[in-house]
Amino acid sequence: MAAKTTLNAKNLETLGAQRLAELLIEISTGSAAHKRRLRMELAGDQGSAEVAREIRKRLASIARARTVIEWHKVKKINADLETQRSAIVTVVAADDPKEAFDLIWQFLAVADSIFHRSNSNDIAFTETFHQACADAAVIASSVGIDIDVLAYKVFAALQDNDHGQYDPLIAEMVPVLGKDGLERLKGLLVQWLNEEEKESADADRETLDWGGGGTTYLDEIYARHRQQRARIALQDIADAQDDADAFIAQQPEETLRMPMVAIAISDRLLLAGRAEEALRILDGVDHRFEMPFEWQEARVEVLEALGRGEEAQAYQWQCFEQSLNGEHLRAFLRKLADFDDIEAEEKAFAFAHGFPDVHRALAFFLAWPTPAEAAKLISKRQAELDGNLYELMTPAAEMLQEKQPLAATILLRAMIGFALDYGRSSRYRHAARHLAECASLAPHIDDFGNARPHDAYVVELKRQHGNKHGFWSLLR
């Protein structure tokens, strides 16, 4: 049974309404957020119209604000936004959907003010406005608003999507817009894109004709940004209409050779049952640089869709050999029969042991994970270890210290050696800690092999770096 002093609703009820009211006044003193919440609750008792009035006032106040939103204020301000959004959805919409529809758009319009004042690209704000996009669609479905009006409202919002606040709007509005509404929105976006492209072309001709004095560099950047915004919106509509060709049509010719663009197109062609075209798109990318993992996986998927399973497996293995990416190996093994996968895994381990980049091999064994193989690699190729790579060495040593203390010691010594050999005094504190860790691991090592035992290692360290007083002073 809970104590009578436990903070819960039942115990607080015993204080009585008057005492609770006094406490709320006391607690809210000096807290604008608490006062706003209490006013909202009081407004709720007077009906949704009064709540809507309070929300409008608050949203207008937020839109007018000019103070910078520092990182430590993000949580508080976002909580305020969530209070307004929640009240629109749960209180106003239940009683007056038309009023709620107007309010949710006023709420979304506040995004510009918020992002302009924020000096941090905080995901919390973005998530709040994305949720409001979903709310707008739900409310719109209950209002029965004219499709042309809704299409134009969505279009106007997308024109002002500087911070990505409206990114999910089209996808959310698809059920409400329907086929006719999407076509109406598509027409507005095509017209906007054509106008932007014509304006850019006219400005470029003016610059050429008059030898300067046309658009500035910033004007051109903004124009391209607007065009890109229109194209992305048209791509969203193409996805909603399952129109792969319309999606491709919004990709500038020069972007078709970019791996990530090729992946996006390939995915849609594959869904449309056009695997041959998908493969041509993927193979037409610029191969001057190493292909990202996502592109390689997309190519495997297309080969499998074409019924070229053996080729897909061979390519999967080739990708593994090039990158030592464990995800490639896992996908390769999943396609093998029982027991064949064990033999293939052993082959992969042997290949990794001989991989030119010892650090990539170490990262592979750690991620697989197989600490025993990682320890074998470290022991065999310790001379190649770069102690400067502390972002790999430190977590590797932590992972190996319990079951493979010698391997962990070798990694710690590599980092110590780098810090002292190169006189990196900023790392002496870490090196001293690593040496202490080596001392704690030493009793757990039965055989140091070709590595010096701990005491001998310390003696040699003092012989080579006895003059590094800044380091040795940290050990006293």
**Tens-digit pLDDT profile for residues 210-251:** 455 555 667 778 788 889 999 999 999 999 999 999 999 999
Does residue 475 contact residue 435 with C-beta atoms inside 8 Å? yes
Residue 396 lies in a domain: yes
Is the same domain home to 348 and 414? no
| Integer-rounded Cα radius of gyration of the chain | 32
pLDDT value for 191 = 96
What's the one-letter identity of residue 131? Q
Q: Among 338, 353, 368, which residue terminates a domain?
A: 353
Q: How far apart are the C-alpha atoms of 227 and 214, rounded to whole Å?
A: 19
Cβ neighbors of 362 (< 8 A, separation 6 or more) are 374, 377, 378, 392, 396
Last residue in a domain, options 337, 353, 369:
353
Average pLDDT over residues 27-48: 59
pLDDT bin (cut points 50, 70, 90) of residue 85 is very high
Statement: residue 196 has pLDDT above 60: yes
What is the spatial distance between Cα 63 and Cα 187, in angstroms, rounded to a whole number?
A: 31
What pLDDT digit, counting tens, does each position of 165-190 carry?
999 999 999 999 999 999 999 999 99
Residue 119 lies in a domain: no
Kindly state whether residues 405 and 346 are assigned to the same domain. Answer: no
CATH code of 303's domain: 1.25.40
Q: Please, are residues 102 and 118 in contact by the beta-carbon 8 Å criterion? A: no
Whether residue 387 sits in one domain with residue 330: no
Q: How many residues does the chain have?
A: 476
Stronger pLDDT, 245 or 30, i.e. the higher one: 245
pLDDT at 394 over 80: yes
Distance CA 66, CA 417 (A): 53
C-alpha span between 34 and 79 (Å, rounded): 11
Q: 29-43, 335-349, 367-381, 441-455: which has the minimum mean pLDDT?
A: 29-43
* Residue 1 pLDDT level (bands cut at 50, 70, 90): very low
Tell me the mean pLDDT in the region 41-60.
Answer: 78
Give a yes or no: residue 155 inside a domain. Answer: no
Last residue of a domain, one of 318, 335, 353: 353
Tell me what the pLDDT averaged over the chain comes to.
90
**Is 326 inside any structural domain?**
yes
Distance separating alpha carbons of residues 427 and 436, to the nearest angstrom: 14
Structure tokens at 165: 């606040």
Sign (positive or negative) of CA dihedral 140, 141, 146, 149: positive
Range of the domain at 392: 379-476
First vs last C-alpha separation in the chain: 54
Mean pLDDT value of segment 107-127: 90
Looking at the domain assignment, is residue 183 inside a domain?
A: no
Identify which of 399, 405, 389, 473 has the alpha carbon closest to the alpha carbon of residue 437. 405
User: Tokens standing for 44?
Assistant: 């709720």
Question: Looking at the 3D structure of the chain, how many domains does it have?
Answer: 2
Residue 394 domain flag:
yes
Q: What DSSP designation does 164 have? A: S
The label of the residue with tokens 């190729």 reads 381
pLDDT tier for residue 333 given thresholds of 50, 70 and 90:
very high
- Judge whether 450 lies within some domain: yes
Residues 344 and 262 in one domain: yes
pLDDT for the residue numbered 273: 96
Name the residue with higher pLDDT: 253 or 276: 276
**If pLDDT is split at 50, 70 and 90, which confidence band does 144 have?**
confident
Q: Is 280 part of any domain?
A: yes
Between 67 and 2, where is the model more confident? 67
Do residues 414 and 475 share a domain? yes
